[in-house]
Amino acid sequence: MEIIVIIVLRVLLITFYAFAGIYHFINPEFYYPLIPDYLPFPELINYLSGFVEIILAIGVAIQKTRLLAVKGIILMLIAFIPSHIYFITEGGCMSESLCVPLWVAWVRLVLIHPLLILWAWSVRKTNKV
């Protein structure tokens, strides 16, 4: 049963990051407001983030690269923390189309973000699965 759960979580993780990565290319305007103003080249950051998410999703799907890809996802999520903090300091509103209550921004940072890290770590096993 545990193996089935890990496989399902892994497939969901791969799908999540593959679609998120692709969406950086389909609708880059969605991500630009999330990139802090103090970072240069927001377009490049957006496309690199999308590319990395796609590569990491593929890496999780391959047994030999799975552990490295999982560690990459965790490092990427840690690298995104300043963006979440920026979102909070801006009051949860980055544009007219991207506005959430401040408490939602906090929940995203202190609850959802660690759960994403835990989710990635939970699918790292490569033996038999």
Residue 57 is assigned to a structural domain of this protein: yes
- pLDDT category of residue 128 using cuts at 50, 70 and 90: low
What's the number of domains the chain is made of? 1
Q: Chain-centre distance of CA 26, in angstroms?
A: 16
The answer to whether the beta carbons of residues 62 and 75 sit under 8 Å apart is no
β-pairing, 93-95 vs 98-99, is antiparallel
- φ, ψ of residue 9 in degrees (nearest 5): -60, -40
Is 126's pLDDT higher than 70? Answer: no
Q: Is residue 36 part of a domain?
A: yes
Residue-wise pLDDT tens digits, 71-125: 999 999 999 998 889 889 888 887 777 788 889 989 999 999 999 999 999 999 8
Does residue 1 carry a pLDDT above 70? no
User: Is 127 within the bounds of a domain?
Assistant: no
Q: Is residue 103 part of a domain?
A: yes
Is this prediction's pTM over 0.75? Answer: yes
The tens digit of pLDDT for each residue in 6-53 reads 999 999 999 999 999 999 999 999 888 888 888 999 999 999 999 999
Domain that holds residue 61: 2-122
Whether 19 maps to a domain, the answer reads yes
Residue 104 within any structural domain of the chain: yes
